[in-house]
């Protein structure tokens, strides 16, 4: 009877470990799928994404990816990698991502509004690309964001006022774009230097609260 009970205990522990591994595998596969969607949307002439193999269970083994102790993706670092193509909405599934570094490439198209789902994001660095479209108001949901660097692109439209509600925000640089309207002055924008907004020909000065709408004739 004692041996039988020991066998039951061993089997129970074994199944628990397998279930735990399976759970980690499902999460890793979900994040791997999101990252592989990004790889498929990018042109990679220097093969910096060669290790991004969808047949590997865990994307934490891929180059340019950093994970935490729970095998959740926390950093994507592809700055200055000679990449072109587009960003993908699947990036919004990387719920533990803290750093998205895609600066100094030739990435085109718009910023997916799904990036607003990255609740752990600390740094969003998309500067020196060829991005177009507007700044998604959904970025205002990034309550952990500290660094927002989108300078040297071709972004248009107004600066979403939702960004002024991010109390953690320390650095905002949207210079050298085609933004319009006025510059926010509340919340973290109170301390952002004006030269971080320069070279936007249609962007007017700091907004004067209580006066005309900041985004009049701005698109």
Q: What is the 3-state secondary structure (H, E, C) of 63-83?
A: CCEEECCCCCEEEEECCCCCC
Indicate the pTM of the whole model: 0.85
Average pLDDT over residues 199-205: 92
The pLDDT, as a whole number, for residue 214 is 56
Least confident of 64-68, 90-94, 106-110, 212-216: 212-216
Average pLDDT over residues 2-25: 43
Residue whose entry in the numeric block shows the structure tokens 């900041």: 214
Binned at pLDDT 50, 70 and 90, residue 194 comes out as: very high
- Cα 179 to Cα 200: distance, rounded to the nearest angstrom: 6
Q: Is the pLDDT of residue 17 over 50?
A: no
Average pLDDT over residues 187-207: 93
Q: Is the pLDDT of residue 116 over 70?
A: yes
Q: Is the pLDDT of residue 198 over 60?
A: yes
Q: Is the dihedral of CA 50, 77, 70, 93 positive or negative?
A: negative
- Cα 174 to Cα 135: distance, rounded to the nearest angstrom: 10
Least confident of 11-20, 33-42, 95-104, 160-169: 11-20
Binned at pLDDT 50, 70 and 90, residue 215 comes out as: low
The pLDDT, as a whole number, for residue 56 is 79
């Amino acid at each position: 009877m004692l041996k039988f009970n020991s066998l039951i205990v061993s089997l129970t522990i074994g199944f628990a470990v397998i279930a735990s591994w399976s759970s980690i595998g499902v999460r890793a596969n979900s994040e791997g799928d999101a990252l592989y969607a990004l790889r498929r949307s990018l042109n990679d002439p220097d093969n910096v994404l060669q290790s991004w193999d969808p047949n590997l269970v865990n994307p934490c083994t891929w180059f340019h990816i950093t994970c935490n102790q729970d095998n959740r993706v926390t950093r994507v670092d592809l700055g200055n990698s000679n990449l072109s193509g587009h960003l993908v909405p699947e990036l919004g599934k990387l719920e533990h991502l803290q750093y998205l570094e895609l600066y100094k490439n030739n990435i085109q198209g718009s910023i997916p509004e799904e990036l607003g789902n990255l609740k752990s994001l600390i740094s969003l660095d998309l500067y020196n690309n060829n991005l177009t479209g507007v700044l998604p108001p959904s970025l205002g949901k990034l309550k952990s964001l500290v660094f927002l660097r989108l300078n040297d692109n071709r972004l248009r439209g107004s600066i979403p006022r939702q960004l002024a509600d991010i109390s953690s925000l320390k650095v905002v640089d949207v210079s050298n774009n085609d933004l319009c309207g006025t510059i926010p002055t509340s919340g973290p924008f109170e301390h952002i230097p004006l030269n971080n907004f320069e070279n936007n020909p249609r962007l007017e000065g700091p907004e004067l609260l209580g006066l005309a709408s900041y985004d009049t004739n701005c698109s």
